Amino acid sequence: MGSYPKSAGTIGAVALAVLQLFTVNNSIADEKSGPLVLEHADQLLSSGGDGDIINLVGNVHFSHDKADLFSQRATWYRKAGLIQFVDSVQVRDDNRRITAQTMTYYRRDRRITAMQNVRMVDFQQDAVLTSQRIDYFRDLKQFDAFGNPELIFNPNDDTARMVIDSRQMSYFADEKRGVATDSVVITRNNLLARSGQAEFFREPEHVVLTGKPVILQGENELSGDSISIFTEDRRIRSLLVRGDARALYRTLPDSALLEYSTAEITGRELEAFFENDKISEMVTRRNATSLYDPAVTDTLISGTNRASGDSITLFFDNGVIERVMIAGGARGEFIEPKFDKGEPYFDTTRYSAATIDYKFDEAEIRLLKNGNLRYRDMELDAGDIRYNTDSKILVARPLSDDSSSGGGEAPVLKQGTEELFGERMSYNLESRKGQVRMARTKFEGGFYTGQAIRQASEDVLFVSQGDYTSCDKPEPHYFFHSNKMKMIGKDKVVARPVILLIGKLPVFAVPYYVFPIRKGRHSGFLPFDIGNFERGDRFIRNVGYYWAASEYWDMTASLDFYENSRTILNSSLSYTARYKLSGNVGASYTRSTSWDQSRYVKSVRNRWSFRFSHNQTISPSVNLTGSGQFLSDKNYIEDNVFDPSERLNRSINSDMSLNKKWRNSSLAIVASQNWNLDTDEKRETLPSVRFSRSSLPIFPEPSATKNKERIRPGEETDQPRKRFYHSIYISMNSTSQNVRNRLKVNDSTFVQRNYQTMANQTGLTAPQKILGILTVNPGLNLAQNVARVEKNAVTDSLGLEAGKVVSQERYSLSIGANTSIYGTVFPNIIGITGLRHVMTPAVTYSFSPEVKNNQRFMSYVGVGGFSRRSKTISFGLNNLFQAKHLAGEVEKKLDLFSLNFGGNYNFAADSLRFSPISTSLRTSAIPKFSLEYSASHSLYELNRDVRRPWNNPRLLSQSISTSTSFSYRPSGEGEQTGTPKAEDIAKQVFAPKVGGSGQFSDVGINASIVYSYTESRGVSKSISKKVTVNLDGQPTKNWRISYFCHYDVKSKRIESQSVNVARDLHCWQAVFSWVPSGRASGYFLRINIKSIPDIKIEKSEGISTARGDYFD
């Protein structure tokens, strides 16, 4: 019981005895609760009349069950079972101790309410709870704290101390857990956590934060839907964040400047592991992403890096990140701000792999399995891509060092459409030097390989043991080999030596070779041509240079040298400015030599040619166009050009025109020259001016939108009525020419005929629709021709006065009518649902008077001249027969055939007033078959003005032409599209430079047969019958054969025929052409590489003499 003060006298002892008696009686009255025992009190100050309220003073001590309650003062309400303790209150219950200023103890509930500076110590859990109020439920061992409670675990251990603050808190001692709510703050060393609620457990030791939880550690931050903090042996073992997990790390590159670099990691779940209270590993799972944004002052990294994967794992050493691993569909991008000519832009590098591993201690980033790195137009794929941030070296290789053993994923570097393969690639980003081992690539249709490619600088590559071929076989049919090659940018390749191997057999070698590899327009040497003609004259052609001066113009210069014959200098210039002008200018100079064998005299001849083309848009309505060619002599093309299309063109035309357009009229000023190379005649027009005005109404039809009065809403207005005079149209044109003609009189004599003319024409038409079915079109045409001639021998002989301006006027009247008549029947037999006959009769009457004045002038200049009086009726009847038929469920229209007749009658003619009657029939109703027939009949006897009956005209001429074609494809083969025929390939032999390749597609055959019959009857009868056969077939995938034959049925003679055979030899091709007979009889054989047609073997006889027979 302890000792009591001596001041407690006899009265105190008696009172204490009475209280103890009351305590015993009260405990008997309540059997549910143990006895409440007053162990000690210094004084009993008062007691109610019924003994219900007892005041105790001085060292008050109660015990209830195993709890001891102490204070300096207490008031005991016996009936209520309530004791109020005041001053130095203390409760001892098991391993817990509570201190406070005031306390109320509810005996029946076994509940304690402590207030003012309340402090609870749990010695078993090493926890201290302080608050302004604590409710302690002894049976539940539950503490409810209010008024900014604070719970401290491990209060005496500075390294393990954890403090929990909140507005409200519940602590369950037996369950070894607690709940803090409202503005929860948890601190542990330098770690600070905030949340709306925290639930903490002692076994196992962990805290669960919910309600927007955030954990702060220095400048770093961790958040999510919930955060669990796990501890073990008084140390943090791990953290678990669920739902929108986010970790934010801030570092300060420069402590002098408060500019932070930030790294943010997000995911659906985040887990961090600790060793000795320091983080060792952090794993973010499920849609994990990371974002690194460096500070402006960070001198190591200047761009933003964003990455994602199924999981992101960070490994730490002493709290510092030493390794980052992104696994499961890892991908990311690095965005770096840059400047180009002062303008900002963002440069992006994208990367992906199954796993991305960044080891900080080794300064190495690895992309493992399906690694992909993309920068601008470059892309790198490999099983293992490594980048060392210290040495700035990038290495790509397969997952296994031995790619042939199945390691796979060998490095592939792509840029645009180009791909470079290799067993190992390395590149130094600082020195911009690299190396590729066992490289393979495809460029411009060719395949390149090399044992090693070494990049000496940004634009120079060295290749050792390099090969080139266009054959895609693993063992190519041919290839070029060089021990050493130097590639300069994308400009050219210098190789030495160069050996051509067919299979494994070397067949050709040169000490060195330079060839261009630049795409598009670029300057460089031209591919030249070496050979010899059948006559033994050797040559070298096209030795020159192409200069791409700018994007607006370029120039070419070349030299052709023919032994013992001539030297030709060629040059050309092309220019263009988009939407403004384009054109080209070319010139050739030839110095030819020849020997007079009889006199042994050498003669030298200088010759030239000039050509141009120009197209310029001066304004939207004005343009200047022109083209032409000028030669030193008429035989220049025949002697110096080998292109058959140019050699066959025997007329040289040159012109330059300026055109101006208005809304309804136009003006053209043209200067032109025509030169007939066979007759050496020239016609020059310097200039020709033509003005024309399109057909317009004299009285335009009024518009409904003009002069319209204001009307009320909903009221309609009458449309203007069209009058007959609204259909009267006028058209005008005028052409003036200054002509200089050089005409040939005989083999050695020419005459110059110069004159000026002007031709004016005005036309009036007034088409009218009568009764909606008949169209009547009257017309008037007025013409005036003006001429002036210059003096020459011909004008003197014709009696024409030179320098005099003369004119001639004429007019003509006409009226025409036409209509269409339709007839339709619906037989509904054999799928034909309808037949229609469209008949279009037309008749026109025209009159023109006789014109005689100045007819000699007009005949001389070629305009106007003598004209007889004419009264002519022209008549015609066109017939179109059509059908409608069912094709499945769809009704289709088909033109069966057309049958047309025409002729005219001249009332003013002295005799033979009826013209010949023309008849034409045309049909293509039958698929792949067509028929055309035309005939001309006279209504008069031969050489006599004697009429024949209408039903018995005399046949003048007739012609029949039929053609049919068919094609066959075996089942499963598609239609041929765009495939050259064998004869088209063979025609390349006539080109000056053979290029291209024969293409082969579907197996099948195409055939066409044309039969023509022509007959004319005059004084004598003439008949022609001919058949033309074309066959083109591909019997197998690699063979193509064609045959052409032109057969004269009447003479039973083949006029011409040819056989062409082409064979696809994979990367090679062979062409054989044979003409059995005729002037072009002979054969031609060529075998060449498809991609390099100049590498070829050729042999010909007969048909190739136009271009020479030579070998390259």
Between 225 and 218, the more confident residue is: 225
Residue 72 token pair:
């300096």
Q: Which of 50, 80, 45, 76 is nearest to 61 (CA)?
A: 76
Give the tens place of pLDDT for each residue, 697-752: 888 887 655 444 555 555 555 567 778 888 889 999 999 989 888 877 777 778 78
Residue 693 is assigned to a structural domain of this protein: yes
617 and 681 co-located in one domain? no
Write down the pLDDT at residue 625.
93
Q: Does position 530 have pLDDT exceeding 60, yes or no?
A: yes
What's 6's domain CATH number? 2.60.450.10
Write down the pLDDT at residue 305.
82
Give the tens place of pLDDT for each residue, 749-798: 787 888 888 989 999 999 998 888 899 999 999 988 888 888 887 777 77
796 and 755 co-located in one domain? no
CA distance 789 to 860: 9
Which residues are CB-contacts of 306 (< 8 A; sequence separation ≥ 6)? 289, 290, 291, 292, 332, 333, 334, 335
Looking at the chain, the whole-number percentage of residues with pLDDT higher than 90 is 28
Q: Which long-range contacts (CB under 8 A, 24 or more apart) does 483-487 make?
A: 485/450, 486/460, 486/461, 486/462, 487/460, 487/461, 487/462, 487/463, 487/517
Q: Does the pTM exceed 0.85?
A: no
Write down the pLDDT at residue 409.
83
667 and 643 co-located in one domain? no
CA distance 266 to 308: 9
Weakest-pLDDT range from 560-564, 585-589, 881-885: 560-564
pLDDT category of residue 976 using cuts at 50, 70 and 90: very low
797 and 660 co-located in one domain? no
When pLDDT is averaged across residues 140-155 and rounded to a whole number, the result is: 89
CA distance 1043 to 981: 10
Q: Where on the phi/psi map is residue 39: left (φ > 0), alpha (ψ -120 to 50), or beta? A: alpha
13 and 116 co-located in one domain? yes
Range of the domain at 678: 653-701+724-766
| Positive or negative torsion for Cα 796, 801, 807, 809 | negative
Of 296-305, 543-552, 867-876, 893-902, which one has max mean pLDDT?
893-902
Q: What is the 3-state secondary structure (H, E, C) of 698-715?
A: CCCCCCCCCCCCCCCCCC
Q: Which of 147, 163, 187 is the last residue of a domain?
A: 147
In DSSP notation, 889-911 reads TEEEEEEEEEEEEEEEEETT-SS
Give the tens place of pLDDT for each residue, 820-835: 999 999 988 888 889 9
When pLDDT is averaged across residues 478-487 and rounded to a whole number, the result is: 87
Write down the pLDDT at residue 258.
62
Instruction: List C-alpha distances in Å: 501 to 561, 915, 1061.
Output: 30, 75, 27
Q: Does position 997 have pLDDT exceeding 70, yes or no?
A: no
Give the tens place of pLDDT for each residue, 46-93: 666 677 888 899 999 999 888 899 999 999 888 888 999 999 999 998
Give the three-class secondary structure for 983.
Answer: helix
Give the three-class secondary structure for 674.
Answer: strand
CA distance 611 to 586: 5
Q: What total of structural domains would you count in the chain? A: 5
Of 380-389, 443-452, 531-540, 812-821, which one has max mean pLDDT?
812-821
Weakest-pLDDT range from 254-268, 609-623, 637-651, 660-674: 637-651
680 and 612 co-located in one domain? no
4 and 138 co-located in one domain? yes
Write down the pLDDT at residue 713.
57
For residue 911, the one-letter residue type is S
Give the tens place of pLDDT for each residue, 18-41: 444 444 444 434 445 577 888 999
Write down the pLDDT at residue 808.
86
Q: Map tokens 């025992």 to a residue.
A: 37
Write down the pLDDT at residue 897.
93
Write down the pLDDT at residue 616.
92
CA distance 82 to 103: 10
Write down the pLDDT at residue 991.
35
pLDDT category of residue 643 using cuts at 50, 70 and 90: low
Which residues are CB-contacts of 618 (< 8 A; sequence separation ≥ 6)? 624
Between 323 and 30, the more confident residue is: 323
Q: Which of 858, 878, 911 is the last residue of a domain?
A: 911
Give me the residues paired with residue 685 across strands. 672, 739
Q: Which of 98, 115, 147 is the last residue of a domain?
A: 147
Write down the pLDDT at residue 405.
40
Q: Does position 407 have pLDDT exceeding 80, yes or no?
A: no
**CB-CB contact of 323 with 331 (8 Å):** no
Give the CB-side neighbour count of residue 967, counting CA atoms within 13 A: 13
Weakest-pLDDT range from 578-592, 600-614, 916-930, 971-985: 971-985
Residue 814 is assigned to a structural domain of this protein: yes
Residue 576 is assigned to a structural domain of this protein: yes
Which residue blocks in 848-896 are alpha helix, DSSP H?
855-861
In DSSP notation, 370-432 reads EEEEEETTEEEEEEEEEEETTTTEEEEE-SSS-GGGTT----EEEETTEEEE-SEEEEETTTT
Write down the pLDDT at residue 525.
79
Residue 837 is assigned to a structural domain of this protein: yes
Residue 313 is assigned to a structural domain of this protein: no
pLDDT category of residue 2 using cuts at 50, 70 and 90: very low
Give the tens place of pLDDT for each residue, 545-564: 989 888 899 999 999 888 77
638 and 534 co-located in one domain? yes
608 and 644 co-located in one domain? yes
Write down the pLDDT at residue 208.
92
Of 339-353, 453-467, 619-633, which one has max mean pLDDT?
619-633
Averaged pLDDT score across all residues of the chain: 82
Write down the pLDDT at residue 1025.
92
Residue 386 is assigned to a structural domain of this protein: no
662 and 734 co-located in one domain? yes
Write down the pLDDT at residue 427.
83
Residue 901 is assigned to a structural domain of this protein: yes
Between 887 and 101, the more confident residue is: 101
State the Rg of the chain over Cα: 55
759 and 821 co-located in one domain? no
CA distance 371 to 89: 72
CA distance 679 to 677: 6
For residue 732, the one-letter residue type is M
Neighbours of 339 (CB within 10 A): 8
Give the tens place of pLDDT for each residue, 268-321: 999 989 888 788 889 999 889 988 887 665 545 567 888 899 999 988 887 777
Residue 122 is assigned to a structural domain of this protein: yes
pLDDT category of residue 865 using cuts at 50, 70 and 90: low
CA distance 1018 to 956: 7
When pLDDT is averaged across residues 660-674 and rounded to a whole number, the result is: 91
6 and 128 co-located in one domain? yes
Cis before residue 204, ω within 30 degrees of 0?
yes
